[in-house]
Structure 1
Amino acid sequence: MKRLTIDQVARRFSLNVLVGEQHLQSEIKQPGAHRPGLEFVGHFDFFPTERIQVLGKKEITYLHKLSHRERKMRIRNIVQYHPPCFIVTAGEDGLTYLTEHCIKENIPLLVTKEPVATTEFVAQLDAYMVKELAPEMAVHGVCVNVFGIGILLRGDSGVGKSETAHTLIGRGHRLVADDIVVLKKLSAQTLLGTHDEKTKEFLALRSIGLLNVVRSYGQKAFQNETRIALEINLTKWEKDALYNDLEQEPAYTDYMGIKIPSMEIQLQPGRDIAGLIEAAANNWYLRQQGYSAAEDFYSRLAPEFS
């Protein structure tokens, strides 16, 4: 799990720091923001103290309606648990009381530059933190998006993964990562593929060198990340090794506990590898819709044998 600091969140969402600038390097260990509600009335049984606390118009309006003494008590009851920070989305007006408590307890207090919809802000913040704090691993390969389907190309060095990706780009598909693919586990079923920043937009082709696909082919040639749906292993041609079965037995590769459907495509001069990858992507999509070409074919043959 990567290290995520309050400072990174502040820069990502362009937040103003009211107090606690010296504590911005504090680490955020728990993804997901929390809007305190029950905590303001004394219920702390399930208070997620390690999460960022977000105060919107609803929470700030409630606090403003309290007497000075009661407001002080309510705020003190929350800050004593030392959450990583407070983020206010309702503007800076009237936050003196909150500022005083945050200074006393060394808790950063940040505000959005302009009042924003708290629900939308929390959704964006949650999505960002889930990605940043997700378990991850790096694998050697190429990641592409074909017809909106994320595909991880694996194979030995020099087998032609990058060249195949280049051909796919020429057909209107998108590169996500070349050489080093970073895989992030967002949930028990979701594996995200992305780049490692250093290789972003670059494609390495033997005999040609490095290409920046965005500068060469436009923004449409690159995608920052994609959900991995299928793994395709590119292997060298072996005579008589290919099967002509109407339907292959399903195979899977496990990445951090997530099983990804896996298949093999052998390389040989003259084979349209990019076209086969497109066919594999389309076939995967149809399967998700409940259609199997093999089952459809067998159903047409059934009357002849009945």
Structure 2
Amino acid sequence: MSEVTAKDLMEEFSLQLINDEESVTFRPIPTSDISRPGMEMAGYFTYYPAKRIQLLGKTEMSFYEELTEDEKHDRMVRLCTYDTPAIILSRGMEAPENLIEAANKTGVPILSAQMTTTRLSSQLTTFLESRLAPMTAIHGVLIDIYGIGVMITGSSGVGKSETALDLVRRGHRLVADDSVEIRQEHDGILVGRAPELIKHLLEIRGLGIINVMTLFGAGAVRNYKRIGLSIDLETWDQKKQYDRLGLDEETIKIFDTDLPKITLPVRPGRNLAVIIEVAAMNFRLKRMGINAAEQFSERLNTVIEDGDRDDF
């Protein structure tokens, strides 16, 4: 999980720092939840979520203006705690002097945004959920095949990068090679991307490092992609029994998400790029409710049942 502060929000959303920069402390933002302190403006601080970003809109500030001077001072002092990562005013509203004074004492950044409150709240939540999502790195390749994010894993030297190169030549898009950074941004949603250092790069043994975007154009790469399918490449084992019908459904668990997994045996003469391409298309059909393996199994059962009846 990466660390996010109010300084990152200033850069991402072009927010303006209102109070004294020398007295500000850019504290880590621990949660993507946004608080609109309406109850707090009314004086109820029993369950004040101080560790959240506090977003003040037109409603909160209109109520604030109705308070007495003592109440205004009290609300702003209690709003600015040493745990509060930032207070943001929407619609370009000016910050009251009571707020600036209280924020300077506790080091809370006061930021101003031009956006409406609802829109700003939505964009802040989306940004923070993406940045604060749990992250892990997996050794493999991530390719966008027909809109499906396919993660190819396997032991070193099994042919992952060569297969990825073949898929890129067939018109699909590379997301990451060698290392895939995976974030669980929502329940059941895994998003993969390449580390900044190796973005758009592909390593081919004997050839070296190649830049896929330079060789094949901008349409051959993506910066990130939701992962829908995992394909594990393993060296062909004559003693192992492989699934020939496709009825067995394997999964791999990443965080709280069970990701569908296919194991493909590798041996000379197998065109892995075509097989993986077909696997992605078949996966799309299954999501649409069309399962060739189940249809074959049903037809086979029907033939067997009809044969049993003929015996009588």
TM-score (norm 2): 0.87
- Is contact 1:168-1:274 (8 Å) kept? yes
Aligned equivalent of 2:263: 264
Confirm whether residue 196 of structure 1 aligns to residue 195 of structure 2: yes
Q: CA deviation at 1:47?
A: 2.7
Aligned equivalent of 1:111: 112
For 2:229, what is the secondary structure of its paired residue?
A: strand
Structure 1 residue ranges without an equivalent (≥5): none
Structure 2 residue ranges without an equivalent (≥5): 307-312
Q: CA deviation at 1:137?
A: 1.5
Aligned equivalent of 2:310: none
Question: How many angstroms apart in 2 are the aligned matches of 1:292 and 1:281?
Answer: 13
Q: Evaluate the alpha carbon distance shift between residue 168 and residue 120 of structure 1 in structure 2; reply closer, same or farther with a 3 A threshold.
A: farther
Q: Which amino acid aligns with 1:3?
A: E
Aligned equivalent of 2:135: 136
Q: CA deviation at 1:65?
A: 4.3
For 1:151, what is the secondary structure of its paired residue?
A: strand
Q: Which amino acid aligns with 2:112?
A: V
Bigger Rg over Cα: 2
Question: How many angstroms apart in 2 are the aligned matches of 1:219 and 1:127?
Answer: 26
Query: Deviation per CA, 1:136-175, whole angstroms, max 9, x where unpaired?
Result: 2212111112122112111111211111111222222221
Aligned equivalent of 2:17: 17
Comparing 92-101 and 45-54, the one that deviates more: 92-101
Query: Deviation per CA, 1:41-76, whole angstroms, max 9, x where unpaired?
Result: 133344321111112233333333444443333323
1:54-65 equivalent positions in 2, closer than 5 A: 54-65=55-66
Q: Which amino acid aligns with 1:152?
A: M
Question: How many angstroms apart in 2 are the aligned matches of 1:230 and 1:19?
Answer: 48
- Is contact 2:236-2:266 (8 Å) kept? yes
Confirm whether residue 47 of structure 1 aligns to residue 48 of structure 2: yes
Q: CA deviation at 1:283?
A: 2.0
1:150-229 equivalent positions in 2, closer than 5 A: 150-229=149-228
Question: How many angstroms apart in 2 are the aligned matches of 1:138 and 1:94?
Answer: 43
Runs of 4+ with >4 A deviation: 239-242
Q: Evaluate the alpha carbon distance shift between residue 24 and residue 218 of structure 1 in structure 2; reply closer, same or farther with a 3 A threshold.
A: farther
Q: CA deviation at 1:227?
A: 1.9
Query: Deviation per CA, 1:237-291, whole angstroms, max 9, x where unpaired?
Result: 3447564632241112222343211111123343221221122122222222333
Question: How many angstroms apart in 2 are the aligned matches of 1:142 and 1:271?
Answer: 19
Question: How many angstroms apart in 1 are the aligned matches of 2:282 and 2:214?
Answer: 32
Comparing 17-26 and 160-169, the one that deviates more: 17-26
Question: How many angstroms apart in 2 are the aligned matches of 1:268 and 1:255?
Answer: 28
- Is contact 1:5-1:24 (8 Å) kept? no
Aligned equivalent of 2:232: 233
CA RMSD of aligned residues (A): 2.3
Question: How many angstroms apart in 1 are the aligned matches of 2:129 and 2:151?
Answer: 22
Q: Which amino acid aligns with 1:12?
A: E
Q: Which amino acid aligns with 2:48?
A: F
Confirm whether residue 293 of structure 1 aligns to residue 292 of structure 2: yes
Q: Which amino acid aligns with 1:31?
A: S
Q: Percent identity?
A: 35
